[in-house]
Amino acid sequence: MKKIILFFVFFPLVCAAQQDSQYTQYMYNTIEINPAYAGSRGVLSVLGLYRTQWVGLDGAPETSTFSVNTPLNNSNLGLGVSLVNDKIGPTNENTLSADLSYSIPTSESFKLSFGIKATANLFNLDINKLSFENQGDPQFQDLSNKFTPNVGAGIYWHSDRAYVGLSVPNFVETNRYDDNDTAIFKEKINYYFIAGYVFNLDHLEYIKFKPAVLTKMVEGAPLQIDVSGNFMFNDKFVVGVAYRWSASLSAMAGFQVTKGMYVGYGYDHETSNLRRYNSGSHEIFLRFDFFNNYNKLTSPRFF
């Protein structure tokens, strides 16, 4: 059997079940996990996000995300494009995705959206950071700019105050080198369920509260459950907490700088044994909404 000393590829996949990119503030970045989200905000939205995980641990994950999504004119169609860069140990991945959604009204307040996702992935492995039993193994020389396509789909039932979604961003499992003994990177199918609801805590709507949940299921890994609660004050300030089951406790904060500009920050404190080796995870994002005459988004939203 060919042995590879590659801690930071195996550790996230086996111990933390980290397959798709992980986000604490997923409610603002839903398009990465559910293509039916595209255009659901009713405005052209541009988002940039950076996450550094397990600070202080060499080779820990870093994720950079840029996405754009918009309704198409005043139709029932939505379009999204996103680019994600993931760095974990000796691996570097770039993923470009295009999302198309179609929405149908189910009531005066709710719409049901269906989405499809097409993805192109470029995978790179820096073999200089590996230790091989067989230094001349030619099978590891073909892991630079390894291209793989994929497809995904999702449904998203939503209003201005509530949402429920089911999605599978990638239907095709991908192996990056597999000799029946060792797979240095194996992309498995991820299944997502998300839900959230916004409550008014006073009759003037100055204080809003939104509980939310995300569950992720991956074959061969424990079920991941994220629960969160966010408070919004005067449509400007947002504070909240989140808990990732048996993994981390998070604090979140955000500020609606202008009608179209929102900035958010999240910090994760690890609750697993890994907390001994890192000082937590940081996540920051900036979102811009561009309004047209037909846009109906009249107040800031949590999602």
SS3 letters across 235-285: CCEEEEEEEECCCEEEEEEEEEEECCEEEEEEEEEECCHHHHHCCCEEEEE
Bridge partners, 233 (sequence order): 207, 237
* For range 2-24, the mean pLDDT: 50
Banded pLDDT at 89 (limits 50, 70, 90) = confident
Give the model's pLDDT for residue 33.
Answer: 95
**What are the Cα distances from residue 124, in Å, to 130, 172, 261, 263?**
13, 19, 34, 31
Give the pLDDT confidence of 42-72 residue by residue, as tens digits: 999 999 999 999 999 888 999 999 999 999 9
Q: Cα dihedral angle (210, 216, 222, 225), rounded to 10 degrees?
A: 0
Give the model's pLDDT for residue 183.
Answer: 53
Banded pLDDT at 11 (limits 50, 70, 90) = very low
Say whether pLDDT at 138 is over 70.
no
Give the pLDDT confidence of 143-152 residue by residue, as tens digits: 677 889 999 9
Give the model's pLDDT for residue 4.
Answer: 35
Give the model's pLDDT for residue 6.
Answer: 38
User: Residue 254: which of 243, 268, 267, 270 has the closest Cα?
Assistant: 267
Say whether pLDDT at 13 is over 50.
no
Banded pLDDT at 15 (limits 50, 70, 90) = very low
Banded pLDDT at 8 (limits 50, 70, 90) = very low
Please provide the distance, in angstroms rounded to a whole number, between the alpha carbons at the two ends of the chain. Answer: 48
Kindly list the domain boundaries of the chain, sorted by start residue. Answer: 4-290
What average pLDDT is seen over the chain? 85
List alpha helices for 88-215, DSSP H: none
* For range 270-279, the mean pLDDT: 88
- 123 φ/ψ sector (left φ>0, alpha ψ -120 to 50, else beta): beta
* For range 7-25, the mean pLDDT: 56
- Look at the chain and count its residues: 303
Say whether pLDDT at 133 is over 80.
no
The answer as to CATH 2.40.160.40 being correct for domain 4-290 is yes
Say whether pLDDT at 253 is over 90.
yes
* For range 106-128, the mean pLDDT: 92
More confident residue, 131 or 165: 165
The burial class, CB within 10 Å (0-12 / 13-18 / 19+), for 56 is exposed
More confident residue, 293 or 251: 251
Give the model's pLDDT for residue 249.
Answer: 95
Where is average pLDDT lowest: 85-94, 178-187, 250-259? 178-187
Give the pLDDT confidence of 294-303 residue by residue, as tens digits: 555 545 567 8
* For range 260-268, the mean pLDDT: 96
Say whether pLDDT at 178 is over 70.
no
Backbone φ and ψ for 15, nearest 5 degrees, come out as -85, -35
Give the model's pLDDT for residue 122.
Answer: 92
